């Protein structure tokens, strides 16, 4: 299926169900045990994934660099997809490849995030395409909270879409475009990059809410993405 719309980062069951009912294909959540901004506990993550089952696919982004913890959370939370956003300095290629093999062998699909703007993007995408089901292309830079350093994404900024288009044209795996997308620019992004899917998070938040969604903006994002796809 092309034209996938993914919305992060759910912090309540209510929001997740509303976003799924509005037409999102993927509902994303960040799991942490430490009460970090924009994250949920494994228990709440499990409840969210259960609540949206049949409405949308659930995507878990674990806020840990430990493969053992990621596998443990995946079995407990029961998402459809696991998104790994660790920089290579935190989880090297070989370690990721082993993690991906274990997750995929257990029935989970794996999304690998590639930082755009860090240098070596095309080479990284070509390396990871064989050990990932989906590549996400997200903006390199500082995340919204110091405790989220070491993880790719969450900057709320766009990047050079021509780089993402080159990657999209050179790898034969689905590509999700992320980084600073919202209702105002998603159509242009889709026309420029022609990705398999698009992702938005902070641009769809209620101001100051740390993840609660503005449903009107979510609906607008989905509608404009659908039109462009």
Q: Token pair 């430490």 is at which residue?
A: 34
Phi/psi of residue 134, nearest 5 degrees: -145, 140
- pLDDT tens digits, one per residue of 87-131: 999 999 999 999 999 999 999 999 999 999 999 999 999 999 999
Domain of 157, CATH number, reads 3.20.20.70
Rounded Cα–Cα distance for residues 223 and 220 (Å)? 5
Portion of the chain with pLDDT greater than 90, in percent = 89
- Is residue 59 scored above 80 in pLDDT? yes
* Residue 36: per-residue pLDDT: 84
* Residue 159: per-residue pLDDT: 97
Q: Are the beta carbons of 78 and 49 closer than 8 angstroms? A: yes
- The rounded mean pLDDT for the chain is 95
Task: Report how many domains make up the chain.
Answer: 1
Q: Token pair 């949920």 is at which residue?
A: 40
Burial of 12 (0-12, 13-18, 19+ CB in 10 A): middle
Portion of the chain with pLDDT greater than 70, in percent = 99
The domain of 222 spans 4-228
* Residue 1: per-residue pLDDT: 55
Q: pLDDT confidence of 211, banded at 50, 70, 90? A: confident
Q: Could you give the residue ranges of the DSSP H alpha helices within 30-132?
A: 42-52, 67-77, 93-105, 121-128
Q: Token pair 């674990």 is at which residue?
A: 62
What's the rounded mean pLDDT across residues 14-20?
A: 97
- One DSSP character per residue, the chain reads ---EEEE----SHHHHHHHHHTT-SEEEEEE-SS--TTEE-HHHHHHHHHHHTTTSEEEEEES---HHHHHHHHHHH--SEEEE-B-TTTS-HHHHHHHHHHHHHTT-EEEEEEEETSS-HHHHHHHHGGG-SEEEEEE-S--SSGGGTTB---------HHHHHHHHHH-SS-EEE-SS--TTTHHHHHHHH--SEEEE-GGGBPTTSSS-B-HHHHHHHHHHHHHH-
């Amino acid at each position: 299926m092309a034209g996938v719309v993914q919305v992060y980062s759910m912090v309540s069951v209510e929001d997740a169900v509303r976003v799924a009912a509005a037409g999102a294909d993927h509902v994303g959540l960040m799991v942490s045990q430490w009460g970090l901004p924009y994250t949920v506990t494994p228990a709440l993550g499990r409840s969210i994934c259960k609540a949206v089952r049949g409405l949308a696919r659930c995507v878990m982004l674990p806020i840990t660099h430990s493969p053992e913890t990621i596998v443990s959370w995946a079995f407990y939370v029961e998402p459809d997809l696991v998104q790994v956003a660790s920089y290579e300095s935190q989880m090297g290629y070989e370690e990721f490849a082993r993690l991906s093999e274990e997750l995929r062998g257990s029935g989970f699909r794996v999304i690998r995030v590639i930082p755009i703007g860090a240098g070596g993007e095309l080479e990284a995408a070509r390396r990871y395409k064989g050990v990932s089901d989906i590549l996400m292309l997200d903006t390199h830079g500082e995340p919204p909270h110091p405790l989220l350093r070491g993880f790719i994404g969450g900057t709320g900024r766009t990047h050079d879409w021509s780089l993402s288009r080159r990657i999209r044209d050179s790898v034969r795996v689905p590509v999700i475009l992320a980084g600073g997308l919202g209702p105002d620019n998603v159509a242009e992004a889709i026309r420029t990059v022609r990705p398999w899917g698009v992702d938005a998070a902070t641009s769809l938040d209620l101001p100051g809410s740390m993840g609660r969604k503005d449903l009107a903006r979510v609906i607008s994002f989905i509608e404009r993405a659908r039109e462009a796809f």
